[in-house]
Amino acid sequence: MQHSKNLALIATACLSTTSLATVSTTLVADTYVVKDGSRFYSVLDIYAKGNNAGDLMGCSVLGAGTHAVVFATSSATGVTRDASGKVTAGAVTGDIFVQSGGSGWLPTNNDGKAWDSFIALGNRGQGAAAKVTNRGGRVVDAADMTAASGFSQMRVAGSNFIDSGTTSGWYSGAFGGNGYGTAGTSENPFARLNTYNPDQASLYPDLVRTGLQTSKGALQSGATTAGAATIGSGAAGTSLDYCWMIGRFAIDVTGKSASEVITMNAQFNMVGKNGTAAESGTPFSGAITAAYKVSNFFAFAVPAPGAIGVIWPLLLAARRRRN
């Protein structure tokens, strides 16, 4: 009898643990600085994170009701724009998102610059390597990621304040219009959060993983206010398993000092499913659940002051000693 009770307790504990699996409404960002020639770029690769094979994230970034889609740097969060992108209220004081090539916010830039800002919708590649997949196993490549497939909603290119209006958003329209009731190959919008995990490589061999399985810089968690955003001391190389990439957002920080704290707000309606097992779980949407109306703040990294100048005096001292 006691043995049966123990088995029951273990089963209950396992169920309880499994039921805690969830797509976190606190986003994470891989934070690092890229040097290109004489310029320095601060980059935030922003991810939604889960912890279960059944966790799914929508292949969409959407607004819901009064919760508009907003990606903005620093005080630019107070800017209001009309449909054409013209500022109608507030001051444009935030740093501009930098982009390389001519593809705008599409992830199809073939020069592959590490500081190119783009919307990922799950994918972790650029140019021909840009691919997304849904939970039905269908992989869509860069050829399908066009303005006509939904990225045209990403307006105000070359700005510090990117928004798509209150209810529109960005999505991979190439998957078709099927809902998420079945795991068909044309299903939109759900995709597994674990598709970039090493154990999925044989199932999705054409998804780019090189250099994107682990963080390049410091991982930071999204904060509820700009003032609370901090990079912290998270070491590079942290696993990015169960991470669904929302996008890469970069600014030029050449000549900036650490005293100038630059932050970014990422706000959108999260849509997905909290998994309890593969293909099993509870759907969620910020359209009906306030908790999934995500608004997180992140801090941009700035190169250490005099990082290059420190090396130069040391070299001079060494030469003097030799002479």
Each residue's pLDDT expressed in tens, for the chain with a length of 323 residues: 433 333 333 233 333 333 456 899 999 999 999 999 999 999 999 999 999 888 988 877 777 767 777 788 875 444 454 544 455 655 555 677 888 877 777 788 888 899 998 888 888 888 888 888 887 778 888 777 766 655 544 444 444 445 433 334 566 666 665 555 566 666 766 788 998 998 898 988 888 887 778 899 999 999 998 889 999 777 788 889 999 999 999 988 888 887 778 899 898 888 888 988 776 778 888 888 899 999 999 999 998 765 543 322 323 333 343 44
Are residues 188 and 203 in contact, defined by beta-carbon separation less than 8 angstroms? Answer: no
Are residues 85 and 103 in contact, defined by beta-carbon separation less than 8 angstroms? Answer: no
- At residue 159, the pLDDT reads 43
Rounded-to-integer distance, Cα 85 and Cα 282, Å: 37
- At residue 306, the pLDDT reads 57
pTM of the model: 0.80
Q: Could you write out the three-class secondary structure of the chain?
A: CHHHHHHHHHHHHHHHHHHCCCCCCCCEEEEEEEEECCEEEEEEEEEEECCCCCCEEECEEECECCECCEEEEHHHHHCEECCCCCEEECCCCCCCCCCCCCCCCCCCCCCCCCCCCEEEEECCCCHHHCEEECCCCCEEEHHHCCHHHCHHHCCCCCCCEEECCCCCEEECHHHCCECCCCCCCCECCEEECCCCCHHHCCCCCCCCCCCCCECCCEEEECECCHHHCCCCCCCCCCECCCEEEEEEEEEECCCCCCCCCCEEEEEEECEEEEEEECCEEEEEECCCCHHHEEEEEEECCCCCCCHHHHHHHHHHHHHHHHC
- At residue 10, the pLDDT reads 28
Q: Which two tokens stand for residue 49?
A: 């994170």
- At residue 37, the pLDDT reads 93
CA nearest to 244, candidates 301, 183, 191, 316: 191
- At residue 285, the pLDDT reads 86
- At residue 222, the pLDDT reads 96
